[in-house]
Amino acid sequence: MSVVRVLVGTRKGAFVLTSDGKREKWDISGPHFAGWEMYHLKGSPADPNRIYASQTSGWFGQIIQRSDDGGKTWIQPGTPPSETKAPDGSPKGESNKFVYDTSQETGAPLTTHQFYDGTQHPWEFKRVWHLEPSLTDPDTVYAGVEDAALFRSTNGGKTWEELSGLRGHGTGPQWQPGAGGMCLHTILLDPKNAGRIVIAISAAGAFRSDDAGKTWKPINKGLKSQYIPDPEAEVGHCVHHIAQSALRPELLYMQKHWDVMRSDNAGESWTEVSGNLPTDFGFVIDVHAHEPETIYVVPIKSDGEHYPLDGKLRVYRSKSGGNEWEELTKGLPQSNCFVNVLRDAMAVDSLDKCGVYFGTTGGQVYCSPDAGDTWAPIVRDLPAVYSVEVQTLS
């Protein structure tokens, strides 16, 4: 019997929602890390019991948590007695140490980025937005952080090193923070090309490495952003999220600040596919687990009004890879709904009948067990939902 486990990060803790394959009745556990901002939780594809979580606080900084039993218990990597005595001699208590590379060899040019007022500003670590476990090694995990940079741990989260080639490729001084901060929020690992990583930053754009993170290049050709001085600049675009088809990893979909885009060549070029969407502003985007041309977005009214158009919460689905969209409303509130759906708060499961999930800033987590045709809330009253990830377990 299949089991679905939904990992929910919220403004005041984490929740684990579990159901069988019918996805009708749910067990809720949590809040884990009550009172802390939980930006993101994600399970390892190589070991589903291994889950990484980003716990953060304006008072106490960044914490990394790890579960080795599917979310029942948690540790800060490197701190339990069993791990501090590990033969690899990893430093204890450094799982939350994210220090930018300032070495002469690789970090010397990494000095400043553009601030809100246009002046240059030094990089300052604030928090981990996104954790992406390796597809093959449970001990390897990537972290996308604010101020934007990519870190990697190869020892289960005990220690972290920056992949500084990203900040060092030359356009860093042109990157600038979006309204939520200068965050690296998307990390996509290619299941068919071990060296390929795609990341996205608000507001710098999308970047790709084909050598496992050593060197990077911007992949923003075709993006047009009317709100920046050069709408077709190489960098500076406010990319909100990118989703990848697991079956066709070169096929990428992007929800930009405004515009929904697709790329059929791993980001070499992008084409707008907003089509008949009522508004093409939004944050989330995701792809059906089995149909690479079936995609989902939640249109949001505008960059100044972060809630659904007309107070109606609608998911839009395209079965043609964009341009032609249908609204999905069955089970979703169609009046007086003014929540937002944040960039990491949509996910899909991989059951035969693909399940689609999303969480709102109003604390609802919705599930559609039939690829979007109908929706029902799993929970209604959580703290504001920051992130939703799904594990399909058998």
Q: How many residues bind another protein (CB under 8 A)?
A: 21
| CA of residue 189 relative to chain centroid, distance | 12
Candidates 1, 25, 58, 352; binder of another protein (CB under 8 A) is 58
Residue 89 binds to another protein (criterion: CB under 8 A): no
Task: Please identify, using beta-carbon distances, which residue of 99 and 108 lies nearer to another protein.
Answer: 99
What type of residue is 122? P
Task: Please identify, using beta-carbon distances, which residue of 95 and 220 lies nearer to another protein.
Answer: 95
Which residues between 94 and 133 bind another protein (CB under 8 A)? Answer: 94, 96-97, 99
Task: Please identify, using beta-carbon distances, which residue of 61 and 180 lies nearer to another protein.
Answer: 61
What type of residue is 222? G
Residue 16 burial (10 A CB sphere; 0-12, 13-18, 19+): buried
What type of residue is 232? E
Element (H, E) at 55: strand 51-57
Phi, psi dihedrals of residue 172, rounded to the nearest 5°: -50, -45
Phi, psi dihedrals of residue 391, rounded to the nearest 5°: -115, 130
Task: Please identify, using beta-carbon distances, which residue of 91 and 231 lies nearer to another protein.
Answer: 91
Candidates 31, 45, 48, 61; binder of another protein (CB under 8 A) is 61
Instruction: From 187, 185, 222, select the one nearest 201 (Cα to Cα).
Output: 185
Tokens read off for 251: 């096929």
Beta-bridge partner residues of 296: 286, 317
Task: Please identify, using beta-carbon distances, which residue of 26 and 125 lies nearer to another protein.
Answer: 125
Residue 60 binds to another protein (criterion: CB under 8 A): yes
Residue range at the interface with another protein (CB under 8 A); choices 88-96, 109-117, 230-238, 328-336: 88-96
Q: Could you tell me the sign of the dihedral formed by the alpha carbons of 244, 250, 254, 259, in that order? A: negative
Instruction: From 343, 387, 306, 390, select the one nearest 37 (Cα to Cα).
Output: 387
The least distance separating another protein from the CB of residue 86, rounded to whole angstroms, comes to 13
Residue 31 binds to another protein (criterion: CB under 8 A): no
Residue range at the interface with another protein (CB under 8 A); choices 21-29, 60-68, 200-208, 233-241: 60-68
Task: Please identify, using beta-carbon distances, which residue of 92 and 113 lies nearer to another protein.
Answer: 92
Residue range at the interface with another protein (CB under 8 A); choices 15-23, 56-64, 248-256, 260-268: 56-64
Q: Largest Cα–Cα distance of the chain, in whole Å?
A: 59
By CB under 8 A, name the binding residues for another protein: 33-36, 57-63, 76, 78-79, 84, 92-94, 96-97, 99
